[in-house]
Amino acid sequence: MQQYDFIALRSFVAVVEVGSFKGAAEFLQVSTAAISRRISGLESTMGVKLLNRTTRQIDLTEAGRQFYQDVTEIFVSLDQAWEKVQLGTATIKGTLRIAAPLSFGMSKLSPALPNFMRRYPEIEVQLQLSDGMTDLVADGIDVAIRIGKLQDSSLVATHISDIERVFCASAAYLQRFGEPQSLLDLSTHNWLQYSLGSVKEQWRIVGNRPLVLSGSLTSNNGDVLKDAIVQGIGISLLPKFIVEQALATGDLQEILMDYKPAPLGLYALRPSRLYTPGKVKVLIDYLAEICV
């Protein structure tokens, strides 16, 4: 296989996985025109149309779908072979751009990163903390940490662990308003709500009866809610890593212990299954190690 054929194949796979010529160009750090020429050249060489292009989307033809599946398997095998060589004989190095939620980044990643950097001293870490949804391709992110239910996308997700959640309140709040004994009792309390859609609760229906919760504070950051709970403002359900220190010191109390909500999944997302550098793999392995 000639070299330009390999580059064209990479471009084709990138277009399919990212979903656009522009996104593939940004991912491969070339111009959109170059991606278009490579795909057109590949289709001309093969004598078959691989992609249906419209102003709004790009769809695979039947031939393109089969070709993508076969090419993907080839790239996966090459990627695995490269990783075996790199991890076995070469130094892991390079810039590693990580995106993570703010609370998880501060409480879990921040204390764990120094040990990771000592283990891999030639990796330069760039950590971006935000509770919003980061565009991995547009922002040049190598791996993003996500918590909660994942939306369908072209991103490749690796499940790292599950995150326990707990209902909690302060002793002062419980003394003043009483301790709820069931989920339905929460409807009479000041419920502090986490606002990001990826972790909307699934336990809001008890039997056939809707559980309507409301309160005086909504935030997209768990630490904001934790601080309000500690100050006796209300009750909430938060990831245990956010409140474990407050529970240990007695600033917060766990309540409704008989009602255990489903844990949240902790995932590492990367833009493509085809190009997984060693620096990304060792980070994912390290996260699985520290998040057990």
- We report the CATH number of the domain holding residue 174 as 3.40.190.10
Pair of tokens at residue 9: 């194949």
Residues 42-61 as b/e (b if ≥16 CB within 10 A, e otherwise) read bbeeeeeebbeeeeeebebe
- We report the CATH number of the domain holding residue 17 as 1.10.10.10
What does the alpha-carbon distance between residue 197 and residue 214 come to, in Å, rounded to a whole number?
Answer: 16
Pair of tokens at residue 158: 């690796």
**Burial environment of residue 146 by CB neighbours within 10 A (0 to 12, 13 to 18, 19 or more):** buried
Between strands 236-239 and 165-169, the pairing is antiparallel
User: For residue 1, what pLDDT is reported?
Assistant: 47
Task: Report residue 138 CA to chain centroid gap.
Answer: 15
pTM metric for this prediction: 0.65
Q: Residue 227 domain-assigned?
A: yes
Q: In tens digits, what is the pLDDT along the chain, a chain of 292 residues?
A: 444 577 888 888 888 877 788 888 887 888 888 888 888 888 888 888 888 876 667 788 888 888 887 787 777 667 666 666 655 545 678 888 898 888 888 888 889 899 999 988 988 899 888 877 777 766 778 888 888 776 656 677 888 889 899 999 999 999 999 999 988 888 899 999 887 644 445 455 555 666 778 889 999 888 999 999 999 999 999 999 999 999 999 999 999 998 888 888 888 888 765 556 778 888 988 988 887 6
Pair of tokens at residue 225: 């809610």
Contacts of 48 (CB under 8 A, 6+ apart): 61, 63
Q: Residue 150 domain-assigned?
A: yes
Query: Is residue 204 helix, strand or coil?
Result: coil
Q: Are residues 113 and 234 in the same domain?
A: no
Q: Are residues 10 and 24 in the same domain?
A: yes
- Our count of domains for the chain comes to 3
User: For residue 274, what pLDDT is reported?
Assistant: 55
User: For residue 210, what pLDDT is reported?
Assistant: 67
User: For residue 207, what pLDDT is reported?
Assistant: 58
Query: Is residue 200 helix, strand or coil?
Result: coil
Range of 276's domain?
A: 99-158+266-290
User: For residue 243, what pLDDT is reported?
Assistant: 93
Tell me if 58 sits within 8 A of 15, measured CB to CB. Answer: yes
Q: Residue 93 domain-assigned?
A: no
What does the alpha-carbon distance between residue 117 and residue 218 come to, in Å, rounded to a whole number?
Answer: 36
* 186: nearest Cα among 123, 120, 235, 245: 235
User: For residue 200, what pLDDT is reported?
Assistant: 44
